[in-house]
């Protein structure tokens, strides 16, 4: 049987996942190259082997079965596999150039790497700026290399404010922006709100968008439809509020709660920026699920949200959003 049949892919998937669990680079690379030898293309191997296995890795971590170090080790092995697959792509750029970056704060670089290699397989010249690219560096780079597109990866909605800065940096020099990753919301709705020219649901979609009808240049990003100055005021006091929030949580809640809520101010800022409570609601829902796997009750989450709201005198929109999140988890 060909190694590339559906059964072959499934079998390779098991071998691959075991290799990630054991941080066994050679076994993981071997599984990927086996599918390549069986006739699959590099984008197909990425989409059918690496992406599903990484979803399982994420689920293992969220479910509390893996600690963060193991998750990092597994992801690192997938990184190496993507590099090994990329090294087998012929260097024949026949399209334009794409500058690819993870938004500032975004450390999950693997998805961007997968998109990068898929774009390269589609004939694009890709420059990957790596995890957590500072916005200023992106701006410098884009000016210098004059790409046809900037592709921004964001897996966590908390980084939307920096994503906005990066969208402005790219469009400020007329380069259109392609956004990708779950951080931009269901169907990429926040990508549009921030001024990205398009949102890709996966790597293949990114190739499709860039290949057909991609704008040759972009106008500067339009101003945001924000009803008030809460985002700016919140941003100015964020460090202080985060500190007080941590204090309130660590004092009264279980330790896991304080840790889990550490990033909540970032999500609240993002929710204020795109004026959509769903940014916060979805994150709190996810957090409550993860904390439940670690023995924290939804009621404790609700109480923590109420304490957080108590700290936000003078931020009515933020308080409404916290109330919505609280109602959603039933706390």
What residues from 165 to 194 belong to the interface with another protein (CB under 8 A)?
A: 172-174
Residue closer to another protein by CB (options 41, 132) is 132
Assess 21 for contact with another protein (CB under 8 A). Answer: no
Q: Give least dist CB 23 to another protein, A.
A: 5
d(CA 302, CA 307): 9
Among 145, 236, 255, 306, binds another protein (CB under 8 A): 145
Given a contact cutoff of 8 angstroms between Cβ atoms, the answer to whether 153 and 181 are in contact is yes
Phi–psi pair at 178, nearest 5 degrees: -110, 125
- Find the length of the chain: 331
Measured in whole angstroms, the distance separating CA 228 from the mean position of its chain's CA atoms is: 27
Assess 260 for contact with another protein (CB under 8 A). Answer: no
Helix (H) or strand (E) holding 211: helix 203-211
What residues from 95 to 124 belong to the interface with another protein (CB under 8 A)?
A: 107
Residue closer to another protein by CB (options 205, 214) is 214
Assess 144 for contact with another protein (CB under 8 A). Answer: yes
Candidates 45-53, 71-79, 120-128, 302-310; binding stretch for another protein (CB under 8 A): 71-79
Among 11, 15, 23, 84, binds another protein (CB under 8 A): 23
Among 55, 65, 88, 143, binds another protein (CB under 8 A): 143
Among 15, 18, 21, 24, binds another protein (CB under 8 A): 24
Q: Quote the tokens at residue 301.
A: 């989450």
Size of the site for another protein (CB under 8 A): 38
Sorted by sequence, the CB contacts under 8 Å of residue 305 that are 6+ apart come out as 284, 322, 323, 325, 326, 329, 331
d(CA 77, CA 110): 10
């Amino acid at each position: 049987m060909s190694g590339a049949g559906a059964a072959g892919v499934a079998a390779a998937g098991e071998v691959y996942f075991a290799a990630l669990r054991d941080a066994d680079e050679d076994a993981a690379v071997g599984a990927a190259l086996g599918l390549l030898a069986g006739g699959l293309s590099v984008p197909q191997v990425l989409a059918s082997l690496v992406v599903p296995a990484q979803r399982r890795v994420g689920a293992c971590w969220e479910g509390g079965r893996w600690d963060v170090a193991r998750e990092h080790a597994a992801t690192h092995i997938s990184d190496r596999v993507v590099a090994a697959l990329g090294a087998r792509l012929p260097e024949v750029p026949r399209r334009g150039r794409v500058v690819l970056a993870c938004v500032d704060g975004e450390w999950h670089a693997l998805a961007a790497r997968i998109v990068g290699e898929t774009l390269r397989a589609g004939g694009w010249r890709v420059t990957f700026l790596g995890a957590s690219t500072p916005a200023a560096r992106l701006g410098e780079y884009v000016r210098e290399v004059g790409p046809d597109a900037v592709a921004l990866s964001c897996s966590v909605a908390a980084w939307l404010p920096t994503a906005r800065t990066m969208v402005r940096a790219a469009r400020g020099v007329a380069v259109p922006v392609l956004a990708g990753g779950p951080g931009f919301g269901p169907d990429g709705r926040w990508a549009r709100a921030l001024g990205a020219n398009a949102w890709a649901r996966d790597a293949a979609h990114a190739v499709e968008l860039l290949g057909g009808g991609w704008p040759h240049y972009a106008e500067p990003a339009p101003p945001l439809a924000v009803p008030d100055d809460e985002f700016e005021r919140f941003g100015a006091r964020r460090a202080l509020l985060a500190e007080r929030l941590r204090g309130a949580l660590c004092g009264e809640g279980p330790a896991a709660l304080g840790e889990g809520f550490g990033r909540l101010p970032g999500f609240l800022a993002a929710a204020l920026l795109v004026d959509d409570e769903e940014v916060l609601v979805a994150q709190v829902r996810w957090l409550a699920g993860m904390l439940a796997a670690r023995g924290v009750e939804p009621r404790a989450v609700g109480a923590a949200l109420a304490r957080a709201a108590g700290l936000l005198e003078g931020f009515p929109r933020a308080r409404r959003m916290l109330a919505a999140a609280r109602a959603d988890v039933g706390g």
